[in-house]
Amino acid sequence: GAVVSQHPSRVICKSGTSVKIECRSLDFQATTMFWYRQFPKQSLMLMATSNEGSKATYEQGVEKDKFLINHASLTLSTLTVTSAHPEDSSFYICSARLAGGPPDTQYFGPGTRLTVL
């Protein structure tokens, strides 16, 4: 149980285009999902916290207009990288917290590798 999927697993796009990444909790409902970014050989950095039915909370230094987050249902959150540039190339990982579950537990997706040419 507690499986989180991400789609796509890899995406290559041209500079200036937008890319949407989906994060789904497959067998549980998640009121809260988190989006992380991991640059090569670096740690995960929290970008934003996504709550179902409300606006996402962004970490300091993360542009909310560039990284659009929508958490439209209890099983789906999307991250859209708008007007992507090569410096946005990274590994994007989401995690989900079980609705009503312990706040200390997050289930991680397998990640999405974004390459912007």
Partner 1 sequence: AQSVTQLGSHVSVSEGALVLLRCNYSSSVPPYLFWYVQYPNQGLQLLLKYTSAATLVKGINGFEAEFKKSETSFHLTKPSAHMSDAAEYFCAVSGRGGGGTSYGKLTFGQGTILTVHP
Point out which residues bind partner 1 (CB under 8 A). 4, 6, 32, 34, 42-46, 49, 91, 93, 95, 97, 102-106, 108-111, 113
In angstroms, what is the minimal distance from the CB of 43 to partner 1?
4
Strands, sheet with 19-25, edge to edge from the N-terminal-most edge strand: 4-7, 19-25, 76-81, 67-73
For partner 1, the closer of residues 75 and 95 by Cβ is 95
Q: Which is nearer to partner 1, 82 or 91 (CB)?
A: 91
70 burial class (0-12, 13-18, 19+ CB within 10 angstroms)?
middle
Which tokens is 104 given? 């200390």
Residue number, 16 or 110, with CB nearest to partner 1 = 110
Closest CB to partner 1 among 38 and 82? Answer: 38
CB of 109 to partner 1, least distance (A): 5
For residue 44, what are its two tokens? 């995960």
CB of 59 to partner 1, least distance (A): 9
List % helix, strand, coil for the chain (3-state, nearest 5): 5, 55, 45
